[in-house]
Amino acid sequence: MVVRDHAMLAPLAIGAVLMAMIFAGGHVSGAHYNPAVTLAVYLRGKCDAKDVMPYWAAQFLAALVAGLLVTFLTNGRATPAVHGTVPSVIVEFLFTFALAWVILHVATTKGTAGNSFYGLAIAMTVVAGAVAVGGVSGGAFNPAVGLGVFVMGLESAKQVAVYFVSDFAGAAVAAVAFRLTNGAD
């Protein structure tokens, strides 16, 4: 089968790379590639306060560099997407909540310590979100990704604000819900 529209494979490609990066970098940094997830893990009590700002700095710097690199490689050819604000806020919140919820359960609990499935569970949550609501919001579920696509000219400043507010809020609520349902673990 010849796939003529590579965009339909984008969620799978993103999930595959994320899974590989989690398995490759999980033992180094806990695979902190998403500032919203870092917030959730911090609020859950599994990330030291001293590590939050350096993680965020690295995550946003990486997004900035990636956005600039892609802009250079594509000669800056980009057309910003148009997403409705209210639907974007809702789906970004919900799927970032889902992502943080999954991560907190598979990567930070005693019951899943030493597991070998966390990368796949996390990546498939992102794939499911990208397939289900990528057309609604762009499917970032990550404020750093929002910054990167803004730098590339693929999203408006308004949409980046949606990513920041909704994604951090979804992650924070996931951390609170985790603590309420799991106690100190």
pLDDT tens, residue by residue, 51-90:
999 999 999 999 999 999 999 998 888 888 889 999 999 9
pLDDT band with cut points at 50, 70 and 90 for residue 1: very low
Question: Rounded to two decimals, what is the model's pTM?
Answer: 0.92
CA–CA separation, 127 and 43 (whole Å): 25
Q: What pLDDT does residue 8 have?
A: 78
**Residue where the block lists tokens 């990066």:** 21
Higher pLDDT, 5 or 13: 13
Q: Which pLDDT value is given to residue 167?
A: 98
What is the extent of the structural domain holding 64? 6-182
54: in domain: yes
The pLDDT tens digits of the residues spanning 14-29 come to: 999 999 999 898 888 8
* Counted domains in the chain: 1
Which residues 6+ apart lie within 8 Å of 101 measured at CB?
174, 177, 178
Alpha helix (H) ranges present in 30-156? 35-44, 49-73, 85-107, 118-137, 143-151
How far is the C-alpha of 88 from the C-alpha of 76, rounded, in Å? 25
Residue 1 lies in a domain: no
pLDDT (0 to 100) of residue 117: 83
Convert the pLDDT of each residue in 126-161 to its tens digit. Answer: 999 999 999 999 999 999 999 999 999 999 999 999
Q: What CATH number is attached to the domain comprising 170?
A: 1.20.1080.10
**DSSP result, 26-48:** HHHHS----HHHHHHHHHHT-S-
Read off the pLDDT of each residue in 175-181 and give the average, rounded to a whole number. Answer: 96
CB within 8 Å of 31: residues ≥ 6 apart: 21, 22, 25, 107, 119, 122
pLDDT at 132: 95
Residues 95-107 pLDDT 10s: 999 999 999 999 9
**pLDDT tens readout for residues 39-49:** 999 999 999 99
User: Angle formed by the axes of helices 143-151 and 157-182, to 10°?
Assistant: 170
Residue 55 lies in a domain: yes
Q: Which tens digit of pLDDT belongs to each residue from 106-128?
A: 999 888 887 878 899 999 999 99
What integer best gives the mean pLDDT of the chain?
92
pLDDT of residue 180: 95
Q: Is residue 30 part of a domain?
A: yes
Residues 158 and 43: beta-carbon distance below 8 Å? no
Quick check: is 145 in a domain? yes
Can you give the pLDDT at residue 4? 56
